[in-house]
Amino acid sequence: MIALLAGLAEAACPDPGLALDDAFAALSTLDFARVDTRIAEARAGFACGGPITRDALGRYWLAQGVAATLNGDPERAGAVLAAARRADPALRVDAWGDDVRAAWSAAGAPAGEGQLTTLRALPGRDVAWIDGTPQSLPGAAPAGWHVVQISRYGRAWWSGEVFVPPGDEVALDVAQPPASDMPKRWTGGVMVSLGWDASVGDALSADVAGKTYTQSATQVGIPLEIGYEWDSRSAWIRPAAVVAPLVTGPYLYAGEEEPVRFPLAFGAGVAGGAWIGDGGRVGVLGQLAFPGQIRLRALASWPVARALHIEGRLGVNAPAGQRVEPAFGAGVTWLP
């Protein structure tokens, strides 16, 4: 289920990093049609994702520059390789032979700067990113090629490649999509998490139907959570339901007439917090679980692939009629 949902997210907005990885793989076999397709896919991702990173920007221009050099278009190659060097001078070009190395060494950005503006004024809540950096428009830009993104609430809704001639002004014709397709302040989607959770408390024993049963002091469960997360690219909140089969034996709890054994915990709760860094999250989680537990956790997660996070949790369980237990866990979480 997690892989399927991640695949659906992938289709919604292309991942420029994955597209560029495949573009460079295609360059190694001189499959220029595939290179063009993947570069177009990366370009589409710039128009619906976050600000372009320095790594993606450099590789985006480098892939075009290598392809242009190998295709015998030195004018185009020099211009885009200059943009790649401006974005990331440490890029390596050794894999593509002497012609590419020579073009890379010779590439130089035009001297001076020009002006960027838009044909129509942008709404006050929209922000322009020039090569991943917020910038007011009209505004100055170094001469040469740039990636311009127009964003709202931290998510691009338009992107374009722009060549800025020295001493000249370029007016961008930014076409706004329908209101239904514009980024929203709060967006949401299904969240799924699978992991493990452990707590350390008191060992218990009870007689059930003439037989003695025990509950281990260390309880380890495999929690599956399904919920819905809303986020604003700065804060997030998600209610979720959880079911956690135990792998260390059943819970024991007081029934109406005699102790009851139960092989899993289930319940519901709410988590919320803030974004940190490049897609990481921190927050707190509270759950009410059966049988008879309040669960409190501090949590932190970090992306390891598109929409997939590794999440760690640390906190306590408060079982009914027992002492508070330290608890901790980790898992893989798919987030929208």
pLDDT at site 111: 84
pLDDT in the model for residue 128: 93
The pLDDT of residue 255: 56
pLDDT value for 336: 66
Question: Which pLDDT score is estimated for 11?
Answer: 45
pLDDT at residue 301 in the model: 92
Whether the CB-CB separation of 57 and 132 falls below 8 Å is answered with yes
Mean pLDDT, residues 104-126: 87
For the ranges 146-155, 258-267, 309-318, which has the lowest average pLDDT? 258-267
- Identify the CATH number of the domain defined by range 187-334: 2.40.160
Tens digits of residue pLDDT in 145-193? 999 999 988 889 999 999 999 999 999 998 887 777 777 777 788 999 9
Q: Is the confidence at residue 243, as pLDDT, over 90?
A: yes
Q: What pLDDT was estimated at residue 9?
A: 37
Domain borders along the chain are 2-181, 187-334
Predicted confidence (pLDDT) per residue in 64-95, tens digit: 999 999 999 999 999 999 999 999 988 988 88
Query: Which pLDDT score, from 0 to 100, does residue 257 have?
Result: 57
| pLDDT value for 179 | 75
Q: What percent of the chain shows pLDDT beyond 70?
A: 92
pTM: 0.62
Residue 205 predicted with pLDDT over 80: no
* HSE toward the beta carbon, residue 40, CA cutoff 13 A: 6
Binned at pLDDT 50, 70 and 90, residue 256 comes out as low
For 32, residues 6+ apart whose C-beta sits below 8 A from its C-beta are: 26, 67, 70, 71
- Distance from C-alpha of 253 to C-alpha of 255, rounded to nearest angstrom: 6
